[in-house]
A and B are shown apart, each in its own frame.
Chain A
Amino acid sequence: MIVARTGNEAMAEAMRQINPDVVAAYPITPATEIVQLFSKFVHDGLVDTEFVPVESEHSAISACVGASAAGARVMTSTSSQGLALMHEILFIAAGLRLPIVICLVNRSLSSPINIHCDHSDSLASRDSGWIQIFSENTQEAYDSTIIAVKAAEAAFLPGMVTTDGFIISHGMERVELLDDKEVPKFLGERKLNYSLLDVDNPITLGPLDLQDYFFEHKRSEIDAMDHVLPIIEKVHKEFGDKFGRYYPIVDEYKMDDAEVAVLAMGSTGGTAKVAVERMREKGKKVGLVRARVYRPFPRDAMTKALSKVKVVGVMDRSDTMSTLGGHLYNDARSILYKSDNQPLMKNYIYGLGGRDISIEEIEAIYEQLFDIQKSGEVDKDVVYFGVRGE
């Protein structure tokens, strides 16, 4: 069914079709609508979900942990400060290997307080042991929500699917929805490694773990992260085979003969694709690489993609506050350290606090990348693009 939906509406629809056993959530702009719409589905009896309206995001994710440990399929949604308030429990959910899925709407972290998009919230949680999938548009947000539930449950790890606040969350787009019956069929039952409610097989969950076992448990969690990408690829293929929409781990656009490329995440991927089209009309060989899956970082696929070009402009909608540039830039540089084909690389920090990024601006970035290709030198590694006074 083809419909017009905002990102939030599409994610709420995906949640309705997934029909989770438990949703515990607290509202926050711009993610509020997702659970607001979902709570209406609960009220109208369209889902079987136990909806827990809690008093904070810390409680929301804590209730999710309890429910997931009991064996339930569990989802929630949040943004920005909400995710920050969940922070300590994110690590616990991952350590307990609970496949909770968060529909996360990217919004800047305070301060200054702001409600618009950048990636500082999700990227501040990048080390928590959660799978992170960034969406380019509403269709992808919808599909990825379903894909993430299946992949998370197969990997026994939690995952978050993000949209860009307001840009995707409140932007109306054409979306193809799946049939209501197809989604539960695609997902199947959640496979359990244990359940707190299984009284015949009582367990101790999350006990104190000191010098003698903590390291082993952490090592095993890291190993689980190491096996996530093939699982996501398998679910991508199953999804594509069944519904006709195939997704890559790393999205490459016009990369085969590209000389320079932009690397970006989220909705900027879509804007950059239009910029690529326009540059190509002018005969300029440019391409785009988009990190769809950001955690775990797709090392091999990303190395392969970036090695195709001479110059990469990495666009980060976040800064690490380390004086080393943005998140994506640091990861991309790191994986290429041992590569034989190291492209020149420049980091563009852009769009913080929801500052718009236009097609023309990305075209200007491509022109700068060609200048770098010509001179063979990167004058400045990290620049702040679109900020006044630079």
Chain B
Amino acid sequence: MKKEKEGWKDLPIGLVLGAATCLNFETGDWRSEKPIWDSEKCTHCLLCWVYCPDSAIIVKDGKVQGIDYKYCKGCGICAEECPPKVKAIKMVREEK
């Protein structure tokens, strides 16, 4: 259910919000192209993780686990940054 928006008297002083509010904003539904990650080819250099503007590369213990499609906007930066000799990420047309 959608939360009622606060009136002005209920707002905190100053233009302050809690942190990490983008977690509530699922940018994954903006996607027209989708990155497909190949675990066989990946060398876990983490360049994709460094460059991803939405923190949508899932990493555990220094190893890429996959892509968080809830937040991935499909910008393709990860595929572009993946080293040419590795090419572990390719972009495909999003099918709904």
Contact = CB atoms under 8 A, between A and B. Distances in A.
Interface of A: 95-98, 156, 193-194, 202-207, 209, 212-213, 215-217, 219-220, 223-224
Nearest to A202: B19
Interface stretch (B3-11, B45-53, B68-76, B78-86): B3-11
A24 to B, nearest CB: 20
B21 to A, nearest CB: 6
Contact residues of B: prevailing secondary structure: loop
A133 B6 CA distance: 34
Given A204-B19, A205-B15, A220-B11, 16 more contacts: A95-B15, A96-B14, A98-B14, A156-B14, A194-B14, A202-B18, A203-B16, A203-B17, A203-B19, A205-B14, A213-B5, A216-B11, A217-B8, A220-B9, A223-B9, A224-B13
Given A202-B20, A203-B18, A203-B19, A216 B6 contact: yes
A148 B13 CA distance: 19
Residue of A96, A193, A212, A220 with most partner-chain B CB within 10 A: A220
B9 A204 contact: no
B12 interface: yes
A193 B19 contact: no
A84 B46 CA distance: 47
A95 B11 CA distance: 13
Interface of B: 5-9, 11-21
A207 B11 contact: no
Contacts of A216: 5-8, 11
A314 to B, nearest CB: 34
A206 B21 CA distance: 13
A223 B7 CA distance: 13
26 contacts: A95-B15, A96-B14, A96-B15, A97-B13, A156-B14, A193-B12, A193-B14, A193-B16, A194-B14, A194-B16, A202-B18, A202-B19, A204-B19, A204-B21, A205-B15, A205-B16, A206-B15, A207-B15, A207-B17, A209-B15, A213-B11, A216-B5, A217-B8, A217-B15, A220-B8, A220-B9
Contacts of A220: 8-9, 11, 13
Interface centre among B5, B19, B21 (most CB of A within 10 A): B19
B23 to A, nearest CB: 12
Contacts of A95: 14-15
A193 to B, nearest CB: 5
A74 to B, nearest CB: 15
Contacts of A207: 15, 17, 21
Contacts of B5: 212-213, 216
Nearest to B12: A193
A217 B17 contact: no
B20 to A, nearest CB: 7
Given A212-B5, A216-B6, A217-B8, A193 B17 contact: no
A194 B14 CA distance: 9
Contacts of A217: 8, 11, 15
B7 to A, nearest CB: 7
Contacts of A96: 14-15
B42 to A, nearest CB: 32
